[in-house]
């Protein structure tokens, strides 16, 4: 299985803390958000990680080379050249050639989470799995679940109708990647490049795709969008994360070089 980390965004709401660095490189408890994601993915058995860069992308590549140099061949870097004018749907579109041939897990690069969330999600009991927190979180995408499947996903879902909060991590089986990127491609062709890729998933759900989910089960996580999120991540999430996860990639076989 591969992983695609969407790390192209500028993070305008948290610039006071990032100070010219991508927000995935924010230090939280001695490690960056990106470090925690990489080590958690490795611990779950994911050996090939693609990172879609944009804003200050060279800093991300340099950080990975410095901190994971022995496993640098396990990474593939993809640039979104129009990151300032697009949303994560376009970043995922840029990764299609690298990701589509395999099962892959897609992560927003600003999500700090406990690594124990990954293994249940990666079991792929459906062609698409979303990680969902049963608790409400403000300013975050919500889901509606019916008969064991996610039937709606939107930031506009009300507290009265929501079933859970989407934490920004989705797993796709190779059985659905063709349909997924076909739908994303249609949206991109229509100029809908400022949307979340979840809109494409919702379109497929509306046409009959069944989307599964796994629960956070009370494990800590944060989506770091603004200074308040950062304080929450440092005070409430970081102390509950394991100190050491996985020091090296599970498979040292070289993959694609830097693009």
Give me the pLDDT at residue 257, please.
Answer: 31
Give me the pLDDT at residue 115, please.
Answer: 97
252 domain-assigned: no
Give pLDDT tens digits for 213-245.
Answer: 999 999 999 999 999 999 999 999 999 999 877
Give pLDDT tens digits for 29-86.
Answer: 999 999 999 999 999 999 999 999 999 999 999 999 999 999 999 999 999 999 999 9
Distances in Å between the alpha carbon of 4 and those of 34, 147, 237? 12, 29, 23
**205 lies in which domain range?**
2-240
Give pLDDT tens digits for 108-147.
Answer: 999 999 999 999 999 978 999 999 999 999 989 999 999 9
Distances in Å between the alpha carbon of 108 and those of 29, 52, 66, 207, 251? 20, 10, 22, 25, 23
pLDDT band at 253 (very low <50, low <70, confident <90, very high): very low
How confident is the model over 160-182, as a mean pLDDT?
98
Distance (Å, whole) CA 189 – CA 131: 29
Is the pLDDT at 254 greater than 60, yes or no? no
255 domain-assigned: no
216 domain-assigned: yes
Which two structure tokens, joined as six digits, stand for 53? 């860069």
Give me the pLDDT at residue 256, please.
Answer: 32
C-alpha angle 21-32-143 in degrees, rounded to nearest 5: 95
Percent of the chain clearing pLDDT 70 (strictly above): 97
257 domain-assigned: no
Is the pLDDT at 259 greater than 70, yes or no? no
Three-state DSSP string of 25-70: HCEECCEEHHHHHHHHHHHCCCCEEEEEECCCHHHHHHHHHHHCHH
Give me the pLDDT at residue 125, please.
Answer: 83
Q: At what angle do helices 57-67 and 33-43 cross, to 10 degrees?
A: 50
pLDDT band at 251 (very low <50, low <70, confident <90, very high): low
Give me the pLDDT at residue 258, please.
Answer: 34
247 domain-assigned: no
CATH number at residue 35: 3.90.550.10
Q: How many domains does the chain have?
A: 1
Is the pLDDT at 184 greater than 90, yes or no? yes
248 domain-assigned: no
154 domain-assigned: yes
256 domain-assigned: no
Distance (Å, whole) CA 169 – CA 128: 11
pLDDT band at 255 (very low <50, low <70, confident <90, very high): very low
Whether the CA torsion 57, 58, 64, 69 is positive or negative: it is positive
């Amino acid at each position: 299985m591969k992983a695609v980390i969407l790390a192209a965004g500028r993070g305008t709401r948290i610039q006071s803390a990032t100070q010219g660095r991508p927000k995935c490189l924010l230090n939280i408890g001695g490690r960056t958000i990106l470090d925690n994601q990489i080590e958690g993915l490795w611990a779950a058995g994911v050996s090939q990680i693609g990172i879609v860069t944009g804003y200050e992308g060279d800093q991300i590549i340099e950080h990975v080379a410095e901190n994971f140099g022995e496993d640098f061949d396990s990474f593939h870097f993809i640039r979104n050249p129009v990151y300032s004018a697009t949303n994560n749907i376009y970043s995922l579109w840029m990764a299609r050639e690298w990701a589509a041939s395999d099962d892959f897990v897609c992560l927003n690069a600003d999500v700090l989470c406990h690594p124990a969330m990954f293994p249940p999600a990666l079991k792929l009991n459906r062609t698409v799995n979303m990680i969902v927190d049963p608790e409400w979180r403000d300013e975050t995408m919500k889901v509606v679940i019916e008969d064991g499947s996610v039937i709606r996903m939107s930031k506009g879902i009300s507290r009265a109708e929501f079933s859970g909060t989407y934490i920004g991590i989705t797993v796709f089986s190779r059985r659905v990647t063709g349909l997924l990127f076909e739908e994303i491609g249609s949206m991109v062709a229509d100029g809908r490049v400022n949307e979340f890729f979840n809109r494409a998933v919702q379109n497929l759900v509306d046409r009959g795709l069944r989307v599964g989910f796994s629960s956070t089960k009370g494990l800590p996580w944060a989506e770091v969008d603004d200074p308040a999120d950062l304080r929450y991540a440092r005070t409430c999430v970081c102390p509950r994360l394991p100190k050491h996860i996985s020091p090296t990639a599970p498979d040292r076989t070289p993959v694609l070089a830097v693009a």
